[in-house]
Amino acid sequence: MARKLLIAVLLLSLIVELGLAGGLFFARDLMGKMFGLAVSGDTALFLAYIVGWLCLFVSLVIGLALYQLVNNNPNYATLCYLMGYFWIAIGIAIFVAFHKPDNLIIDTLKGMLIVGLTMVHQRVAPIGRRR
């Protein structure tokens, strides 16, 4: 029963978050009005707060991946791929949307390094073998 409820809650959360993300990417004005955002100092503070939480979440995922890698837990690879592709996507998206090549270079390179090194590590050090 708990498994089915967890699946239902995660599925509902995924649908809501994807809807919000789509709205924030493609209907910024509508979403701004929905959340009561106007261009002001408060908007900048609100966005900084949200970005801070996102950075904290990313840090937790990185920390968990690092912990799993050090302890030879095979689940590290999933988190490394998730973070690597996340950074690749962010670097490309910021470059396309805002024409900032520094993000393209830094974020995309970081993501490609993580994905590439994870692939190499999986081939060189099979799961369960201590390094």
Query: Are 114 and 83 spatial neighbours (Cβ–Cβ below 8 Å)?
Result: yes
Q: ∠ CA(74), CA(118), CA(99), 5° rounding?
A: 130
Confidence at 125, pLDDT banded by 50, 70, 90: confident
- Residue 75 CB partners (closer than 8 Å, separation 6+): 68
Residue 120 confidence (pLDDT): 93
Torsion of CA 46, 50, 94, 19, to 10 degrees: -100
Q: What is the pLDDT of residues 23-71, one digit of tens each?
A: 888 887 887 777 777 777 777 788 888 888 888 999 999 999 999 999 9
pLDDT of 108 above 80: yes
Q: Looking at residue 35, what DSSP letter applies? A: T
Residue 78 confidence (pLDDT): 95
Domain ranges of the chain: 1-37, 52-131
